[in-house]
């Protein structure tokens, strides 16, 4: 049972318009949400960091105001500041940190090529616990401060310390001796990270909401566009199957109506063309049947003509034979017998032509075999004295070449049988007929091992009627009769296609 083209058409499931649209919108939403989130994240991060940097710079400036103007001028070693004064400054810094919401405040100074701490804040938020750095202690990473000493410009950096991930500002100054010192303020970035994470989360929620809107839009577009197209596709599948006269529904949007209308016009034109081709094919078949019948009639008529020509030639041959029996003159009798053989050769051609498979051409091997055997039966008086050797290839010739070729063989074989073996001499006659190897065409050779040709014999000065006729027949079929080599007489004829 043949498969339904409609079902085959619909089972080849590719990406539908809704799927493509949903995928495209999803990718677009993802890209837009990603770019917007990254941009908003970067902008808000820069804004928050700028606020923190300003706040830390203000805190560092305020920390400098809490210290005497000559505080760093008096520092020369670990005993330059009493523990009481150092503790008092730690208290002040701690209160300032609480007031400003920062993690720590401290100052550092380059003394004798060493970075030392000159003021500090307790990391536990209680100066009384004495957990802050000692006066003149070395910081954990002095190399970063040495770089700031070289620049002597406000430095902002993010670092990880015992307070966690911090944003730090270094505010540089010089004492009266030209030694650099810094006020350092640090603030945790945990609040910044929370705000940034909240921003990313809000962006993701917005992206999800936008994606939901896109899904709703794709479903709506599916109802407006995809479903009418699927209905039209289903109709096309049915038309391609068992319902060629089906009409697509012209409804929906303007474009969909125009598409369905155009398809209907195309389908009608196609059906009209198919119907016209079917009528033309039917007419062609009827014409072919009529031509075949006419050709059969003509073939039958042509066979009948060949049959009647063969019968008429047989009658003429019989008349010639009867006439020859009534004549006593030997020369006249021989001429009549030659004429009888020639007529018989032509009659034999027409006999082969009206056979069922030989309406336009003759298998010359079969024809020559019949002709040569007939000549031996008629012209050889002593049975078995002359042997006939035939080497004939199955080559078919048209009637315009078959008749002259048969007459030519008749003359050459008759000449050999009558003149090559005088006084009852025994011998053999060979007839070779085969195709050329280097070009389209054929070659004929008739030879005997008899007494041979008389001295001075030349094809240009023939006196025998039979050989003259053979030479003329050779020219008629586009060849030239030539003498061959052999123990007796040998004649050769080569005929190429087109008379070359």
| pLDDT at residue 1 is higher than 50 | no
Say how far apart CA 406 and CA 349 lie, in whole Å: 8
| pLDDT tens per residue, range 25-45 | 788 878 887 888 788 878 887
Structure tokens that stand for 237 in this block: 């599948």
| pLDDT at residue 310 is higher than 70 | no
pLDDT band at residue 2 under the 50/70/90 scheme: very low
pLDDT at residue 330, as a whole number: 72
Q: Which has the minimum average pLDDT: 57-71, 193-207, 305-319, 473-487?
A: 305-319
Q: Per the domain annotation, does 93 fall within a domain? A: yes
Name 252's Cβ contacts closer than 8 Å, sequence gap at least 6.
224, 228, 260
**Phi, psi of 132, deg, nearest 5:** -80, 165
> Per-residue pLDDT averaged across 469-490, rounded?
86
- Reported residue count of the chain is 500
Q: Which has the minimum average pLDDT: 93-97, 115-119, 327-331, 485-489?
A: 327-331
| pLDDT at residue 252 is higher than 80 | no
| pLDDT at residue 113 is higher than 90 | no
Buried b (16+ CB within 10 A) or exposed e, 6-21: beeeeeeeeeeebeeb
Residue 405's Cβ-count burial label (10 Å; 0-12, 13-18, 19+) is buried
Neighbours of 367 (CB within 10 A): 24
Average pLDDT of the chain?
A: 80
| Domain-ending residue, one of 172, 188, 204 | 188
pLDDT band at residue 374 under the 50/70/90 scheme: confident
Q: Per the domain annotation, does 316 fall within a domain? A: no
> Of 343, 366, 362, 347, nearest to 401 (Cα)?
362
Structural domain total, the chain: 2
Say how far apart CA 241 and CA 363 lie, in whole Å: 54
pLDDT at residue 371, as a whole number: 84
pLDDT at residue 144, as a whole number: 77
Q: Which has the minimum average pLDDT: 146-150, 205-209, 339-343?
A: 339-343
| pLDDT at residue 357 is higher than 70 | no
* Residue that is written with structure tokens 């002259």 in the block: 404
Say how far apart CA 278 and CA 276 lie, in whole Å: 5
Which structural domain, as residue segments, surrounds residue 395? 370-500
Residue 137's Cβ-count burial label (10 Å; 0-12, 13-18, 19+) is middle
| pLDDT at residue 379 is higher than 70 | yes
> Of 18, 423, 23, 464, nearest to 228 (Cα)?
18
Q: Per the domain annotation, does 378 fall within a domain? A: yes
Residue 391's Cβ-count burial label (10 Å; 0-12, 13-18, 19+) is exposed
pLDDT at residue 256, as a whole number: 73
Of the two residues 99 and 21, the one the predictor is more confident about is: 99
Of the two residues 107 and 21, the one the predictor is more confident about is: 107
Of the two residues 472 and 136, the one the predictor is more confident about is: 472
Q: Per the domain annotation, does 337 fall within a domain? A: no
Q: Per the domain annotation, does 252 fall within a domain? A: no
Name 445's Cβ contacts closer than 8 Å, sequence gap at least 6.
430, 431, 432, 433, 484, 490, 491, 492, 493
Of the two residues 387 and 344, the one the predictor is more confident about is: 387
Q: Which residues pair with 387 in a beta bridge?
A: 428
Q: Per the domain annotation, does 177 fall within a domain? A: yes
pLDDT at residue 127, as a whole number: 56
Say how far apart CA 370 and CA 349 lie, in whole Å: 10
Pairing of strands 361-363, 441-448: unpaired
* Residue that is written with structure tokens 């009888």 in the block: 340
CATH number at residue 170: 3.30.450.20
Measure the CA angle with vertex 458, ends 454 and 461; round to 5°: 110
Say how far apart CA 154 and CA 172 lie, in whole Å: 6
| pLDDT at residue 15 is higher than 70 | no
pLDDT at residue 356, as a whole number: 56
> Of 219, 206, 207, 224, nearest to 26 (Cα)?
207
> Per-residue pLDDT averaged across 243-257, rounded?
75
DSSP assignment of 250-299: --SSHHHHHHHHHHHHHHHHHHHHHHHHHHHHHHHHHHHHHHHHHHHHHH
pLDDT at residue 303, as a whole number: 63
pLDDT band at residue 10 under the 50/70/90 scheme: very low
| pLDDT at residue 89 is higher than 70 | yes
> Per-residue pLDDT averaged across 156-184, rounded?
83
pLDDT at residue 498, as a whole number: 61
Q: Cβ distance 481 to 474 under 8 Å?
A: yes
Q: Which has the minimum average pLDDT: 220-234, 260-274, 302-316?
A: 302-316
Say how far apart CA 464 and CA 481 lie, in whole Å: 15
DSSP assignment of 20-38: HHHHHHHHHHHHHHHHHHH
pLDDT at residue 12, as a whole number: 44
Of the two residues 57 and 217, the one the predictor is more confident about is: 57
pLDDT at residue 448, as a whole number: 92
CATH number at residue 382: 3.30.565.10
| Domain-ending residue, one of 165, 188, 211 | 188
Q: Per the domain annotation, does 390 fall within a domain? A: yes
* Residue that is written with structure tokens 């109802």 in the block: 223
pLDDT at residue 99, as a whole number: 87
pLDDT band at residue 163 under the 50/70/90 scheme: low
| pLDDT at residue 87 is higher than 70 | yes
Integer angstrom CA distances of residue 215 from 26, 34, 291? 8, 18, 69
pLDDT band at residue 447 under the 50/70/90 scheme: very high
Alpha helices in 108-186 (DSSP H): 142-151
Say how far apart CA 65 and CA 487 lie, in whole Å: 148
| pLDDT tens per residue, range 319-349 | 777 777 778 777 787 777 777 777 777 776 6
| Domain-ending residue, one of 188, 206, 235 | 188
**Phi, psi of 25, deg, nearest 5:** -65, -40
| pLDDT tens per residue, range 412-435 | 898 888 888 887 788 999 999 999
Q: Per the domain annotation, does 148 fall within a domain? A: yes
> Per-residue pLDDT averaged across 306-331, rounded?
72
pLDDT band at residue 3 under the 50/70/90 scheme: very low
């Amino acid at each position: 049972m043949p498969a339904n083209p409609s079902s085959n058409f619909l089972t080849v499931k590719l990406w539908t318009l809704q799927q493509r649209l949903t995928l495209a919108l999803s990718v677009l939403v993802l890209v837009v949400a990603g770019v917007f989130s990254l941009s908003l994240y970067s902008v808000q991060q820069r804004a928050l960091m700028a606020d923190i940097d300003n706040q830390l710079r203000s805190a560092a400036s305020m920390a400098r105001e809490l210290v005497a103007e000559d505080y760093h001028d008096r520092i020369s070693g670990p005993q330059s500041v009493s523990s009481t004064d150092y503790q008092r400054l730690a208290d002040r810094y701690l209160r300032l940190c609480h007031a400003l919401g920062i993690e720590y405040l401290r100052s550092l100074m380059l003394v004798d090529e060493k970075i030392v701490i000159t003021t500090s804040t307790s990391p536990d938020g209680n100066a009384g616990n004495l957990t802050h750095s000692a006066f003149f202690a070395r910081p954990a990473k002095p190399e970063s401060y040495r770089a700031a000493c070289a620049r002597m410009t406000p430095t902002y950096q993010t670092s990880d310390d015992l307070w966690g991930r911090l944003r730090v500002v270094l505010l540089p100054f010089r004492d009266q001796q030209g030694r650099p010192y810094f006020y350092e303020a640090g603030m945790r970035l945990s609040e910044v990270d929370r705000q940034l994470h909240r921003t990313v989360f809000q962006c993701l929620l917005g992206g999800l909401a936008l994606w939901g809107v896109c899904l709703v839009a794709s479903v709506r577009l599916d109802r407006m566009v995809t479903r009418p197209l699927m209905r039209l596709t289903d109709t096309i599948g049915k038309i391609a199957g068992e319902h060629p006269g089906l009409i697509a529904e012209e409804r929906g949007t303007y474009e969909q109506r125009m598409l369905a209308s155009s398809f209907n016009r195309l389908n009608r034109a196609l059906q009209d063309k198919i119907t016209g081709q079917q009528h033309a094919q039917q007419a062609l078949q009827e014409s072919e049947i009529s031509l075949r019948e006419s050709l059969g009639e003509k073939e039958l008529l042509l066979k009948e003509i060949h049959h009647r020509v063969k019968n008429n030639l047989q009658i003429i041959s019989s008349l010639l034979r009867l006439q020859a029996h009534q004549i006593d003159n030997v020369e006249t009798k021989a001429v009549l017998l030659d004429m009888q053989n020639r007529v018989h050769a032509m009659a034999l051609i027409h006999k082969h032509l009206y056979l069922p498979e030989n309406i336009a051409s003759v298998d010359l091997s079969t024809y020559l075999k019949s002709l040569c055997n007939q000549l031996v039966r008629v012209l050889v008086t002593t049975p078995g004295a002359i042997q006939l050797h035939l080497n004939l290839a199955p080559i078919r010739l048209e009637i315009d070449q078959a008749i002259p070729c048969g007459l030519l063989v008749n003359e050459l074989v008759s000449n050999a049988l009558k003149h090559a073996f005088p006084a009852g001499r025994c011998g053999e006659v060979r007839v070779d007929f085969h195709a050329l190897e280097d070009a389209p065409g054929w070659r004929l050779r008739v030879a005997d091992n008899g007494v041979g040709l008389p001295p001075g014999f030349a094809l240009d000065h023939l006196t025998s009627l039979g050989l003259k006729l053979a030479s003329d027949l050779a020219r008629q079929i586009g060849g030239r009769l030539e003498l061959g080599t052999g123990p007796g007489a040998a004649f050769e004829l080569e005929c190429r296609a087109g008379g070359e």
